[in-house]
Amino acid sequence: MKLFVALLAVGLPALAAAHSWIVCTDYLENNGWYWDAAKCRAWPRNAEKYNLRDRQFGTAGGDANGFVHRLDDHPELTPLCNDPRDDATSYELPMAAYYLGQKVVLTHPINNHANDPRCDIRGRADTQNLMFVVDGDEDPCCINSTKLIQIMDMGVSPYGWYSDQFSEEVLRTYPKVGFQNAPKFCEDPEDAMGTYNFTIPMDLKPGRNTFVWKWIRNPAVNPFTTCWEADVFATKAERDAHYLATGRTTEDMWDFYQVNNIVDGVIMDPIDPVDPIISG
């Protein structure tokens, strides 16, 4: 019995390791180090049902009924989204609102798929990180649907064992493009947070749109997807009015490295953006 339990304990993290998904669809901090649910103002479909806000970051049910959506051996036949579109019931945790030209920050758990020479990991692949909007109001059939319009290529993270591919310095420098933008990966390879940013195209039609994230880790592994809706406004003023009306902050995202002064990997005193003026 003891042996069985020990085997389970070893086996489970390995099972959980091969997944990722988008946790937050409008996060306030770009390139951040640690997940903080208070910085998340919008969520993907059925985030409440899967308890994405309150559960430990990085866990989302790797089982068949979980939030993770990996397309199977027939990605051209597999439904694109884990949960079918149903705006009326899917947003107990609120839906995002974006404005044209906005830079949006997404968060995802790293689930062991990064590289950093400081923990002696260099060879984990990253192959494709794309953002789409859906043309129309219905979920596209599948990954090769012509209704998927690519709006951003979020790049591919560097990896490789040989110094002629990427130097140690490149592999341990953040921010990184692609999936592996997780500066605290070595502290918690399973559950560390990664962030992406993407830009809402200026020519997107305002109104409610469906957004789709697609990640291919390695060409032999089928894509992972997460789907969500967002109300897109022509201007930031209109988006702000919507967020105020729904009890959310209108702050624009900030960049971790612009608000923190990092020396030798340690956060020093906060950078004061303006000299305080003391009146009276």
Ligand X SMILES: *[C@@H]1O[C@H](CO)[C@@H](O)[C@H](O)[C@H]1NC(C)=O
Binding site for ligand X (CB under 6 A): 30-31, 76, 144-146, 154-155, 175, 177, 197, 255
Residue nearest to ligand X (CB): 76
CB 22 within 8 A of CB 226: yes
The least distance separating ligand X from the CB of residue 175, rounded to whole angstroms, comes to 5
The least distance separating ligand X from the CB of residue 77, rounded to whole angstroms, comes to 8
237 phi, psi to nearest 5 deg: -60, -40
85 vs 257, which CB is nearer to ligand X?
A: 257
The least distance separating ligand X from the CB of residue 275, rounded to whole angstroms, comes to 25
144 vs 218, which CB is nearer to ligand X?
A: 144
46 vs 195, which CB is nearer to ligand X?
A: 195
Alpha-carbon distance of 123 to 126, in angstroms, equals: 10
The least distance separating ligand X from the CB of residue 192, rounded to whole angstroms, comes to 17
94 vs 183, which CB is nearer to ligand X?
A: 183
The least distance separating ligand X from the CB of residue 169, rounded to whole angstroms, comes to 17
The least distance separating ligand X from the CB of residue 225, rounded to whole angstroms, comes to 15
The token duo for 273 is 């953006």
The least distance separating ligand X from the CB of residue 144, rounded to whole angstroms, comes to 4
Which of 65, 56, 57 has the alpha carbon at shortest distance from 83? 65
29 vs 116, which CB is nearer to ligand X?
A: 29
72 vs 275, which CB is nearer to ligand X?
A: 72
Q: Which residue has the tokens 């060879």?
A: 123
Q: What's the CA dihedral at 181, 185, 190, 195 to 10 degrees?
A: -20
Please name the residues in contact with 45: beta carbons below 8 A apart, sequence gap of 6 or more.
81, 82, 83, 85, 86, 90, 91, 227, 228, 229
Query: Cβ atoms within 10 A of the Cβ of 24, count?
Result: 29
Alpha-carbon distance of 106 to 266, in angstroms, equals: 24
Ramachandran region, residue 45 (left: φ > 0; alpha: ψ -120 to 50; beta: rest): beta
46 vs 102, which CB is nearer to ligand X?
A: 102
Which of 61, 125, 91, 101 has the alpha carbon at shortest distance from 199? 101
CB 212 within 8 A of CB 226: yes
